[in-house]
Amino acid sequence: MEKYLWLVPALPFAGALILILGSGKLTKGISGFIGAGSVGLSAAISLVLGLQFLREPATVIQQQLWSWFSVGGLSTNFALHLDALSMVFIFVITFVGFLIHLYSIEFMHDDDGFTRFFAYLNLFVCSMLILVLADNLVLMYLGWEGVGLCSYLLIGFWYKEEKNGYAARKAFIITRVGDTAMAIGLFMLFQTFGTLTIQEILNLAPQRLPMGSETGTIIAFLLLGGAVGKSAQLPLQTWLPDAMAGPSPVSALIHAATMVTAGVYLITRTFPLFELAPLAQNWVGIIGAVTLLIAGFSALTQFDLKRVLAYSTISQIGYMFLALGVGAYSSAIFHFMIHAFFKALLFLGAGAVIMVLHHEHDMFKMGGLKDKLPVIFWTFLIGAGSLAALPFITAGFYSKDQILWMALASEKGNIWFFLAALIGAFVTAIYTFRMVFLTFYGEEKTHVGHPVGALITIPLVILGILSFAAGFIELPHTLGHFTLFSDYMTAVVPATELSPGIESTEWLIQLSAAVLCLAGVGIAYFFYMKRTDLRAELKSSMIVTNRFWYSGWGFDQVYDFVFVKPYVYLSSINKNDIIDAFYKGIVSVSNFFHDAFARTQNGVMRWYIMGIVVGAIFVLSIGLLFQ
Amino acid sequence: MKAIPVEAGLILAGTLFMLGLISVLIRRNIIFMLISVEIMLNAAGLAFIVAGARWGQPDGQVMFIFILTMAAAEVSVGLALILQLYHQLQTLDGDAANKMKG
Amino acid sequence: MELTFYVASAIAILSTIMVITRYNMVHALIYLIISFLAIAIVLFVLGAPFIAALEVIIYAGAIVVLIIFVIMMLNLREETVQQERSWLTKDIFIFPAILSAILLAEVIYIITSGEQIMLDQPSIDSSAVGMSLYGPYVIGVELCGILLMSGIVGAYHLGRQKKKIVHRFLEHAEQ
Amino acid sequence: MSKTDFLNIVPLFILTSSAILIMFSISVKRNHKMIYVITALSLVADFIYIVQYNAKIKWVIEPLFVFDGFAVFNMGLILMTALAVTMISFAYFEQREERKEEYYILLILATLGACVLVISKHFISLFLGLEILSVSLYSMIAYLRRREKSDEAGLKYLIMAAFSSAFILFGMALVYAQCGSLEFNGIAKYLTGYTQIPILLLTGFGLMIVGIGFKLSLVPFHMWAADVYEGAPAPVTAFIATVSKGGVIVLLVRFFTLINGYQYQSLMLIFTAIAIASMFIGNFLALRQRNVKRILAYSSISHIGYVLVAFLAGGSMGVEAVSFYLVAYFITTVGAFGILSTLSDHDRDADHMEDYQGLLWKRPWTAAILSAMLLSLAGIPLTAGFIGKFYLIAAGVNTDRWLLVSMLALNSAIGLFYYIRIIAVMFERHEGEEERQDVLHPSVYIISGVTMGMLVALLLWVGVYPEWMMSVIRTYVHN
Amino acid sequence: MVLLLFIIILMAGGVVAWIASRFNETVGKIIALLTVSADLALSIMVWLNRQAYLDSSQDQWMMRFNAEWIPTFGISVSFALDGLSLLMIMLTFFLGVLAVLTSWKEIEYRTGFYYFNLLWVLAGITGVFLTMDLFLFYFFWEVMLIPMYFLIGVWGHENKTYAAYKFFIFTQASGLLMLLAILSLYFIHGSANGTYTFNYFELLNTTYSPEVGRLLMLGFLAAFVVKLPVVPFHTWLPDAHSQAPTAGSLILAGLLLKTGAYGLLRFVVPFFPEASLELAPVAMLFGVIGILYGAILAFSQTDFKRLVAYTSVSHMGFVILGVFAFNELAWQGVVMQMITHGISTGALFILAGSLYERIHTRDITSMGGFWARMPFMAVIALIFSMASLGLPGLGNFVAEFLTLLGSWSANRTLTIFAAIGLVGATAYSLRIMQKIYYGEARMDPHRSSHSQDLGTREKLIFIPMVLLIVWLGVYPQVFIDTAKRPVNDGLKLSEQKIRKSFEAREAVLNQKGGAHE
C-alpha cells in the first residue's frame, strides 16, 4: 500500500485535470462521479493507510516522486512524507472531503458551473494533501498556495456577483500576507540549516538553534505569520467571514474543516522550532486566546447563519492555537479532527437550510424548521452541541475540555489562557444555541422549498455520528482515561508536560466548563425562546458594543483605513506615474530651447550678421582670455 | 617712408573694417550693405598691403589684386541679384527679405 | 611722408564715416570714391604704387560706377532717401556700434600689444608684383579667371531680364 | 611649371575645360541633356584620372598646391558627390522652365573651387578656391529666379559670405603681418618656435575661424544655413551641405594639423565651444521644425559639430574618422536631398512635412530610401552613418575627449527625435489623394532612381562592410 | 555555423516574407511562420544535443563561430552559444512563433512589411544573445530597435507615435552610453595589451583601475537598466507596451527586456565584478523599488496592457535584485525569471490582444463578466495571473523563490521588501481577474456580440504556453541544469577577478608598509 501513497493526492488531481479539460463536454452525472469518485478512492487509500498507522503509529512513509529543482545547496524534491500527524490530516481531508463531494453533487446540481465546481474542489483536495504530505517546506508552500488559490476560486465561485469576487480577493491577499512572512521564514531556515527538508531541519534544529535564540525566535514568528494568515487568526482573521460568499460545501470543506487548519498543521509540524523559541510559542497561545474571544463575541451578534459559523470557526481554531501555544499538540490535533467533523456538519446543515429557504441567509428570517427538516435539524443539533461542547455526550466536549485543561495545567499554560478559554466556551454555547433556536424554533417565516435528498442527508448523518462519537477515542483521566488518540500522536509529538501537582484540579475544571456551557445554553434559551421581547432592549442597550462586535471588532475598518485606502489612494494619484513627469519635463525644456533658438532664426539678414559679429567677439575674447 | 609703424597701417585697416562692419549692421538698404562689404574687403586688402610692406614681399600686393578680382565678381553677381530682388519685392529693404524663418 | 599717410588715413576714415551715414545713395558713393582715393594715397605711401593705381581704377572707377549704374537703372527717387532716413535712426546705431567698438578695441589692443615695427622696406614696384603674379602665382591668376567666369555666368543668368520692362512708369502702365 | 606639375593639375584643367566646353555648346545650341552628359562625363573622367594617383606619393606644386593622399581622396569624394548632385539635378531642372544650362557651368566651377580648396597649401589658393566656390554658389542658390525664396536666399548668402570672406581676409592679413608667409608651411615653421601663439596671430586665426565657421555653418555663424537651404533648389542645397562644407573641413584639417593647433589651448577651447554649441543648437533648432529642408539644415549644423569632435580628437584616427564621416555624411545628405528633389513638384520643393505624409504607402521605395538616409543621419546600424558616428566616437575616446564625446552621444539622442519624426510622418496612413502624374520622360526618373539606388546601396555597403572604405581611407590618409 | 544560420534564416525569411506578401499575403504569413519555426526546430535540435556540453567540463561554450568583419578595428563576426544563450534563443524562437501566430488576424495592412519587421526584431534579439563581439553586440542591440520602432509606430494603437518615439529615444540614448563604455574598454584593452579587439573573451582580461571600472560599468549599466527597465528609467515601457500591437508587446516584454537582463549577466558582472560588488546594495535597492513601485502602479491602471506593462516593471525588479546578489541561487532565479516572465507576461499581452480583437478596448473598467462568455480564455487568464503573482507550481514561483532565497543571503532588509512585493503582485494580478472576468457582464450586448471564446489558432498559442509554464513550475531542473555552467562560470570568474584585484591591492598596501595600520 505504501507505494501507492502518491495516488492520494494524484487521484484528486487527475480528477481535477479531467474535469478542467472536459469542462463543457461532460455531463453533470459524470462530473460528479469523477469528482466524488476520485476523492473517494483517495479516502479509501488513506483509510487503508490509516489502519496501518493505527497498528503502528510510528510508521513513516517516504516517497520521492521527482526532483523539483536543485540549485546551489538547495535541493527540493517532489517528495511525500507520511507520518502519524499527516495521517490524521489526510484522513480528515479525504474522508470529510469525500462526504462533502457527495453532498455537493446534490447541492450544486442546478448550478451552471457544476463541473467547474468539482474541478476546483478536487484541485483543492489535491493541494491540501500536498500541503500535509510535503516532505519539504517548498513543496508544502506549493500546497499552501494551492489551497489559497482554490479558496480564492471557490469563494468567488459565483463570479457574477461582484462582491464575491472582492471577498475572494480579500481572502487571497490577506492570506498572502501571511504566506509572505512564511516565505521569509523559509529563507531564514535555508540560511540557517542549508536545507528545506522538514525532517532534516527538525533534526538539526536543536544543534543549530540554541534555546531562545534570536534567529530561532524570528523564524518561529515568521512561520507563525504564515499560520496566522491561513488559519484566520488575529490579526489576519478578517477574510474568513467574508469568505462565506462561497457555496456552503466550500465553507464546510475549506473554511472550516481543512484549509484553515493548515496553520495548526504547520505549527505542529515544526513544533521543535517553536519549542526552541518559547517567546514565539507563548505568542501562539496569546493569539489563540485573544482570537477565540474576539471571534466568539463577534459571533454573538451576527445574523447571517454562515457568518456565525465563520466566526465560530475562527474561535475554534483559536482554541487549537491556544493548545499549540501551551504545547498540547495532540490536543490541538484532536480538536482539529473533531472540529472538522462537527463544523463540516454545521456548514453542510446550514447550507441545506439556506438552500431549502431559497438562499436566505438571515437567521431572523428563519425559524420553525425543526419539524419541516427533521434530519437536518437533528444532525445540526448534534453539531451545535458538539460545538458548544455539551458535556459528556458530544465529541466537542472531550476535545475542548482537554484544551481547557491544558491551558491551565500545562507547564506553558497559565490562568489567563484558561480564563480566556473558559469565557470562550461560555460565549460559544450562547451563540451556538442562539443560532439553533433562531433557525429551527419559533414560527416559520420563510417558505420552505423542496426537501433535501439522500446525497445531502447521508453525509449529514455520517458526520453527525462522528461528531457525536469521535470524542470517545480520547477520554480524560477523570472520565475513564482512554488515550487512544494521544497515544497515537506521541509517535510524532511529545506529550504535554504538565505543571507539577495540578492533576488533582482537573475535575474542577471540567465541572466549571460544563456548568458554563449549560449556562450559556440557558441564556440563549432565555433570550431567544422565552423572552424574545427582551432582545430588542438588550440590543439597544448595547448598541455600540453590538455594532463593534458585529463588525468583527473593527479590524476591517482599521485595515481599510491603515492599509487599503492609503494603498489605493497612493496608487490612484500616481496612476500616470510621477516619474514620467520628469521625462516630460525634459521634453518641455527641450521644446523651450527649441522655441528660444527658433526665435533667433527670424529671417532678417542683419540679425544674422549680428550673430556672426557676436561670434567673432566671442572667439577673440576666448583668444585673449586663454592665450 | 621711414616712420610709419606697422601698427598704424593695421589700425587704419582695422578701423575701416569696423566702419564697414557697422554699416552692414545698421543699413537696411541692400545696396548699402553691398557697399559696406566692399569697404570691408578693401580694408582687408589694405591690411595685406601693410603686411606685405612689412616683409617687403610682393605677396601682399598679389593678394590685393585677387581680392580686387573677387570684389568685382561679387559686386557683379550681387547687383544682378539685387535687381532681381527689387523686381520681386519692389523695395531695397534688406529686412523685407525675411520670408524664410523659424 | 608720414604726414601724408596720416592725413590720407584721416580722410579715408572720415569719408568712410560719411559713407555709412548718408541717406542719399549717390552722395554716399561720392564719399566712397573719396575714401578709395585716400586709401590709394595710403597705399602709395606704403610702397605699393601699382596697387594704388588699381585701387583708383577698379574700386573707385569700375565698382563704384557699376553700383551707380544699377542705382540709375532702378531709378530710385526722393522717397528712397526719405525711407533711408526713417531706417537710419539713432538707436539703430547703438548696438552695432557697441559690438564693433568691442571688436575694434580688441583688434587695436592686439595690434598694439606687440613690439613696434617700422615699415622701412623699399617700395615694391609693379614689375616685382608682375614677376610674382606671373611667376609662382600664375595658377592663381588663372583661378582668378575662373572666378570671374563664374561671376560673369552667374551675373548673366541672374541679371537677364525676360521680357520684363524695367522702367517703373511703363511697368505701371502695363499693369 | 614642369610637366609633372601639369600632369598633376590636369583634374582642375579637365573641369575648367569642360566648363568652357559647355559655354561653347550653349552658344551653339541649348541642349539640356547634352550638357548634362558633358558635365557627368567630365566629372567621371576627372575621377578616373584621380584614381590613378599614387596615394603614397606627395606632389607639391609650389607654392600653391599639394597633392597628397588626403587631398586626392577628398578630391575624389568631392567629384563623386558632385556627380551625384549632377545626377539628381537633371530631373529637378528638367521640369523647371528656367534656362538650365548655365547651372552646370556653375556646378562644375563650384566643384573646381572645392577641389582647389582641398589641395591648397597657401592662403592665396585657399582664398581663390573658397571664392570660386562661393561666387558660383551665389548664382546657384538664386538660380531659380522666379522663386522669391531663391533670390532671397541667394542674396543672403552673398552678403553674408562676402562679409565672412572679409573676416577671413583680414585674419589672413594679420597672420601674414605676423609670420611673413602666406604658406601653411611657413606659418607652421614660424609657430614652431612658440609654445603659445603670438596674440596677433591668434587674432588672425580667430578672424579666420569666423569665416571658416561661417562656411561650415557652425554656431554662432550658422544662422544663414536654414534660410539658404530652404531657398536654394534642392540639388544646390545638397551641394552646399556636402561639397562646399567638405572642402572647407578638409582645408581646416590640413591647416590645423600642419600648424599643430592641438597644442594651443585657446584654439582648442574655441573649437570645443563651437563644436558643442553647434551640436546642441543645431539639434534644438531642428527639434520641432516642420520644414524638412530646414531640419536638414539644422541637422547639418550639428553634424559638422560631430565632425569637429573627431577633428579635435586629432591623430591619424581623428583624420580617418573625419574622412569616413564625410563619406557617410555625403552619401546620406545627397541621398536625402535627392529624394527631396524627386518629390519636388513644379512650383516648389517638397519641404513641408505634409508632402511626406503616408509616403511609405504611396511610394514605398522612395520612402524606404529616405528612411535609410534619415536613419543613417541618426546613426543607426546597417547604415554608413552608424559606422561614421562610431568612428567619430572611437576617435574621441581614443584621445580621451570625454566632454566632446559625451556631448556627441547626448546629441545623437536628441537628434534621433526629429529624424524619426520624419519617418513617423511617412508611416502615417494617408487616405485618398491621387498619385502625382509623371510629367517627364521616364528615362529621367530611371536616372534619378538609379542614382538613388546606388547611393542607398553604397550607404548599406559602407554600413555593413565598412572595411573596404576604411582601408581606402587608410591608404590615402596615411602618408 | 548553426549560430550564424539562426540569424540568417530570420533575416532572409523576413525579406522573403515581405516580397512574397506583395503577391499573396497568406503566403507571406506562412513563410514568416515557417521561418521562425525552422529556427525553433533548429534550436530544439541544439537543445537535444546539449548533453555532451553539460557533461564536459572544459569548454564553457557549446558552439562557437568566428569570422572577420572589420579587421581594421578588430571587429569580428563572433558568435558563441552556452547554456544561457541557448535558453534565451529558444525562448526567442518560441515566442517568435507565437508572435507570428498572434499577428495572423490582427494585422490587416502592410502585412509583408510587418512580418519583415517582426523577423528582423527577432534576428536582432538572437544576435544580442549570441554575439561575442562587443561591437557586434552593440550593432545587434541597435538592429532590434528599428524594426521594433516600426512595429509600434505603424501597427500600434491610438498613441503609437508618441510611444514609439519614447521607446526609441530611451533605448538609443542609453545605448550610446554603452557604446562609449565599449569603446573605452576597447581602447583601454588595446593600449594595455597592444591588440585592439572587440572580442568578448579578450576584453574579459582587461584590467583597469577601480575608478575607470566604475565608470565603464555605469556605461554598460545604463543601457541595460533602461532596457530592463529599472525604476526610474522605466517610463518608456508602459507606453511602448500598451501601444504596440500584440506581437510587439509580446516581444517587448518577453524578449527585449531580457536582453537587458542578459547583458547584466553576460557583461556587467563578468567585466566589472568589483564595481558591481560595490554597486550591489544600490542596485538591489533599485530592484526592490522597482518591484514595489511597479506593483503599486500596476494596481491603479485601467488600461489592461498598461497594467501588464507595470507588472513587467515589477517583475524585472527581481532580475536586478538577483543579479547583484552574486550567488548561484539568485542567478538561477534570474535566469528562470527571464524565461518565465517572458512566457507569463507574454501570455497576458496576448490575452489583452485577444480581448481587444473582440471588444476593441483595453479599458478594464468597461469590461467584466467575461468568464461566462469566454470560460476557456478565463482559465488561461487565471493561470497566467496566478503565474504573475508567483503561485507555486508555475514557473514564476521557482524564479522568484530562488531569487529571493539568493538575495536573502546578500541583503536581508531588501529581500523582505522584495517579498512584500509579492503581496502587491497578488493585488494587481487578482485585479485583472476581478475586473475582466468576474462580475456582471458590463459590455452592452451589441458591442460584445463578437465576444466568443478562443478559437483554434488562439488555443494553439496558449496551450503551449500553459504547458511550458507548468513545466517550468514543476520540473525546472532541466533548465536549471542547462544554465548551470554559465551561471557558475560567471560567478567563479568574477570571484577570481575580485580576489585577484584584492590581492593586488593588498600587495600594494604591503609594499607601502601597511599604510592603513
User: Domain ranges in chain E?
Assistant: 1-176+231-266, 275-477
For the stretch E407-438, pLDDT in tens is 888 888 889 899 888 888 888 888 888 888 88
**A/B touch flag: 3 or more CB pairs below 8 Å:** yes
**Phi, psi angles (nearest 5°) of residue A246:** -75, 170
Integer Rg of chain D from CA: 21
Q: Which of E115, E120, E109, E178 is nearest to E145 (CA)?
A: E120
Q: Give me the CATH number covering residue C117.
A: 1.20.120.1200
Q: Which of D40, D57, D60 is nearest to D48 (CA)?
A: D40
By residue count, chain A amounts to: 627
C 82-101 → A contacts, CB under 8 A: 95-96, 99-100
Check whether B89 has a pLDDT greater than 90: no
For the stretch A13-51, pLDDT in tens is 888 888 888 877 778 888 888 888 888 888 888 888 888
Element (H, E) at E273: helix E273-300
Domain span at residue C159? 126-175
Q: Coil, strand or helix: which one is E303? A: strand
Q: What one-character DSSP code corresponds to residue D344?
A: -
Q: DSSP states of A573-615 as a string?
A: HTTT-HHHHHHHHHHHHHHHHHHHHHHH--S-HHHHHHHHHHH
Are residues C114 and C144 both part of a single domain? no
Q: What one-character DSSP code corresponds to residue A234?
A: T
Q: Model ipTM? A: 0.88
Taking 3-state DSSP, the helix, strand and coil percentages for chain A, each rounded to the nearest 5, stand at 75, 5, 20
Candidates C95, C102, C109; nearest CB to A617: C102
Candidates A146, A160, A177; nearest CB to E423: A177
User: Domain ranges in chain A?
Assistant: 328-541, 576-625
Are residues C113 and C147 both part of a single domain? no
Task: Please report the pLDDT score of residue B2 as a whole number.
Answer: 54
Check whether A219 has a pLDDT greater than 70: yes
Start-to-end Cα distance in chain C: 61
- Can you read off the three cell numbers belonging to residue A590? 527641450
For the stretch E495-505, pLDDT in tens is 888 888 888 88
In chain A, % of residues over pLDDT 70:
100
For the stretch A343-362, pLDDT in tens is 888 888 888 888 887 777 77
Q: DSSP states of D190-243 as a string?
A: HHTT-SS--HHHHHHHHHHHHHHHHHTT-TTS-THHHHHHHHS-HHHHHHIIII
E386 touches chain A (CB under 8 A): yes
Q: Where does residue E489 rank: exposed (0-12), middle (13-18), buried (19+ CB within 10 A)?
A: middle
Q: DSSP states of D440-474 as a string?
A: S-HHHHHHHHHHHHHHHHHHHHHHH-THHHHHHHH
Q: Which of E390, E141, E379 is nearest to E267 (CA)?
A: E141
For the stretch C105-130, pLDDT in tens is 888 888 777 777 777 767 888 888 88
For the stretch A470-504, pLDDT in tens is 778 777 777 777 777 877 888 788 877 777 777 77
Task: Please report the pLDDT score of residue D439 as a whole number.
Answer: 61
Question: Can you state the angle between helices B6-26 and C2-21, rounded to 10 degrees?
Answer: 10
Q: Are residues E392 and A572, on separate chains, in Cβ contact within 8 Å?
A: no
Residue D436: CB atoms within 10 Å:
10
Candidates B34, B61, B66; nearest CB to C144: B66
CB E341 within 8 A of CB E395: no
D117 touches chain C (CB under 8 A): no
Are residues C111 and C151 both part of a single domain? no
Are residues C106 and C174 both part of a single domain? no
Task: Please report the pLDDT score of residue E515 as a whole number.
Answer: 47
Q: What one-character DSSP code corresponds to residue A497?
A: P
Per CB-CB distance under 8 Å, the chain C contacts of D116 are 143
B64 touches chain D (CB under 8 A): no
Q: Are residues A606 and B95, on separate chains, in Cβ contact within 8 Å?
A: yes
Substitution target in A71, A111, A182 with the highest count of E β-carbons within 10 Å is A71
The nearest alpha carbon in chain B to D133 belongs to B70
Per CB-CB distance under 8 Å, the chain B contacts of D294 are 102
A169/E51 Cα distance (integer angstroms):
45
D297 touches chain C (CB under 8 A): no
Task: Please report the pLDDT score of residue D108 as a whole number.
Answer: 95
pTM for this predicted structure: 0.88
C103 touches chain A (CB under 8 A): yes
Q: Are residues A608 and D203, on separate chains, in Cβ contact within 8 Å?
A: no
Per CB-CB distance under 8 Å, the chain B contacts of D351 are none
Per CB-CB distance under 8 Å, the chain A contacts of E332 are 71-72
Q: How far is CA A316 from CA A251, A335, A521, D14, D326, in A?
A: 15, 8, 18, 108, 84
Locus of grid cell 517546506 = A137
Task: Please report the pLDDT score of residue D431 as a whole number.
Answer: 61
- Can you read off the three cell numbers belonging to residue B58? 610682393
Q: Tell me the mean pLDDT in the region D110-139.
A: 93
- Can you read off the three cell numbers belonging to residue E277? 560588488
Give buried/exposed letters for E404-433 (b at 16+ CB in 10 A, else e). bbbbbbbbeebbbbbbbbbbbbbbbbbbbb
Of A69-73, A607-611, B29-33, the range with the lowest mean pLDDT is A69-73
Average pLDDT, chain E: 86
**Phi, psi angles (nearest 5°) of residue A22:** -90, 5
Q: Tell me the mean pLDDT in the region D367-378.
A: 90
- Can you read off the three cell numbers belonging to residue C115? 613690439
Q: How far is CA B90 from CA C76, E22, E216, in A?
A: 11, 55, 63
Q: Which long-range contacts (CB under 8 A, 24 or more apart) does C14-17 make?
A: C16/B16, C16/B19, C16/B20, C16/B39, C17/B19
Task: Please report the pLDDT score of residue A564 as a whole number.
Answer: 84
Per CB-CB distance under 8 Å, the chain D contacts of E169 are 413, 416-417
Candidates A71, A160, A180; nearest CB to E329: A71
Locus of grid cell 518615439 = E165
Check whether E447 has a pLDDT greater than 60: no
Residue D70: CB atoms within 10 Å:
25
Positive or negative, the CA dihedral E98, E100, E104, E108 is positive
Locus of grid cell 531695397 = B92
Q: Tell me the mean pLDDT in the region A303-330.
A: 86
Task: Please report the pLDDT score of residue D279 as a whole number.
Answer: 93
Q: How confident is the model at residue A295 (pLDDT cuts 50, 70, 90)?
A: confident
Task: Please report the pLDDT score of residue D123 as a whole number.
Answer: 93
- Can you read off the three cell numbers belonging to residue D404? 566632446
Q: How far is D262 from chain A (nearest CA, A)?
A: 14
Q: Are residues B16 and C96, on separate chains, in Cβ contact within 8 Å?
A: no
Q: How far is B49 from chain D (nearest CA, A)?
A: 8
Substitution target in E169, E388, E423, E478 with the highest count of A β-carbons within 10 Å is E423
Substitution target in B54, B62, B74, B82 with the highest count of C β-carbons within 10 Å is B62
Are residues C67 and C143 both part of a single domain? no
Q: How confident is the model at residue A156 (pLDDT cuts 50, 70, 90)?
A: confident
Of D436-440, E144-148, E168-172, E349-353, the range with the lowest mean pLDDT is D436-440
Q: How far is E72 from chain D (nearest CA, A)?
A: 7
Are residues C53 and C27 both part of a single domain? yes
Q: Are residues C158 and D65, on separate chains, in Cβ contact within 8 Å?
A: no
Are residues C84 and C145 both part of a single domain? no
Q: How confident is the model at residue E442 (pLDDT cuts 50, 70, 90)?
A: low
Candidates B67, B85, B99; nearest CB to D169: B67
Q: What one-character DSSP code corresponds to residue E77?
A: E
Task: Please report the pLDDT score of residue C175 as a whole number.
Answer: 39
D85/D53 Cα distance (integer angstroms):
24
Average pLDDT, chain D: 88
Q: How confident is the model at residue D433 (pLDDT cuts 50, 70, 90)?
A: low
For the stretch C5-55, pLDDT in tens is 889 999 999 999 998 888 888 888 999 999 999 999 998 888 888 899 999
Q: Where does residue C69 rank: exposed (0-12), middle (13-18), buried (19+ CB within 10 A)?
A: exposed
Substitution target in D392, D403, D427 with the highest count of E β-carbons within 10 Å is D427
**B/E touch flag: 3 or more CB pairs below 8 Å:** no
Q: How far is CA E470 from CA A106, E255, E330, E396, in A?
A: 33, 20, 21, 10
E365/A99 Cα distance (integer angstroms):
41
Are residues C92 and C149 both part of a single domain? no
Question: Can you state the angle between helices B59-89 and D123-141, rounded to 10 degrees?
Answer: 10
Element (H, E) at A66: strand A61-71
For the stretch D165-213, pLDDT in tens is 999 999 999 999 888 899 999 999 998 888 888 888 888 999 999 999 9
Q: Count of A–D CB contacts within 8 Å?
A: 95
Substitution target in B25, B30, B31, B37 with the highest count of A β-carbons within 10 Å is B25
Q: Tell me the mean pLDDT in the region A373-386.
A: 84
Start-to-end Cα distance in chain A: 98
- Can you read off the three cell numbers belonging to residue A14? 487527475
A172/A170 Cα distance (integer angstroms):
5
Are residues C116 and C55 both part of a single domain? yes
Q: For chain C, what is the domain count?
A: 2
Q: How far is CA C100 from CA B17, B19, B20, E74, in A?
A: 9, 8, 10, 53
Check whether E506 has a pLDDT greater than 70: yes
CB A292 within 8 A of CB A420: yes
Of A442-446, A573-577, D135-139, D409-413, the range with the lowest mean pLDDT is A442-446
Candidates E296, E391, E439; nearest CB to A574: E296
Check whether C174 has a pLDDT greater than 70: no
D230/D224 Cα distance (integer angstroms):
10
Task: Provide CB contacts within 8 A for E75, sequence distance 6+.
Answer: E69, E133, E135, E136, E197, E198
D58/D60 Cα distance (integer angstroms):
7
D 37-76 → C contacts, CB under 8 A: 61-65
The nearest alpha carbon in chain D to A615 belongs to D220
Substitution target in A577, A578, A582, A583 with the highest count of E β-carbons within 10 Å is A577
Q: Are residues A609 and B25, on separate chains, in Cβ contact within 8 Å?
A: yes
For the stretch B67-85, pLDDT in tens is 999 999 999 999 998 888 8
Task: Provide CB contacts within 8 A for E165, sequence distance 6+.
Answer: D417, D420, D421, D424
Of A23-37, C80-94, C160-174, E157-171, the range with the lowest mean pLDDT is C160-174
Say whether the peptide bond before residue D442 is cis (omega within 30 degrees of 0): no
For the stretch D305-337, pLDDT in tens is 999 999 998 888 899 999 999 999 999 999 999
Check whether D47 has a pLDDT greater than 90: yes
Are residues C89 and C104 both part of a single domain? yes
Amino acid at E347: A
Are residues C21 and C93 both part of a single domain? yes
